[in-house]
Chain A
Amino acid sequence: MAYNNLIFTADDDEDDRLLLQQAFQQQSPGCQLVFFADGDELLSALTNTPPHELPRLIILDLNMPRMSGFEVLKRLKAHPRLRVIPVVIMTTSSRPEDISLSYQSGSSSFVTKPASYDRLLELVQITRQYWFETVTVYSEF
Chain B
Amino acid sequence: MRNSPYPALIPAPRPLIYFVDDDPIDRQLYYKAFQRTFHNHDVELFSSGFEMMAATSQADRLPMLIFLDVKMPLMDGFETLLSLKADRRWSAVPVIMLTVSREPQELKLCYQLGAQSWIAKPESQEAMDQLMGVVQTYWNTAARTPYMA
Contacts and interface: CB of A to CB of B under 8 A. Distances in A.
B119 A103 contact: no
Interface string A102-134: 011011111110000000001100110110011
Contact of A133 (B117, B134, B142): B134
Q: Mostly helix, strand, loop or mixed at chain A's interface?
A: mixed
Interface of A: 83-84, 86, 94, 96, 99-101, 103-104, 106-112, 122-123, 126-127, 129-130, 133-140
A107 to B, nearest CB: 8
Interface string B119-149: 1100000000001001101110111111011
User: How many residues of B sit at the interface, in one of the four size bands?
Assistant: 20 to 34
Contacts of A109: 94, 116, 138-139, 142-143
Interface in B11-29: none
A84 B134 contact: no
A104 B120 contact: no
B107 A136 contact: yes
Given A94-B144, A134-B119, A137-B118, A100 B112 contact: no
Contacts of A137: 111, 118
B116 A108 contact: yes
Contacts of A134: 119, 131, 134-135, 138
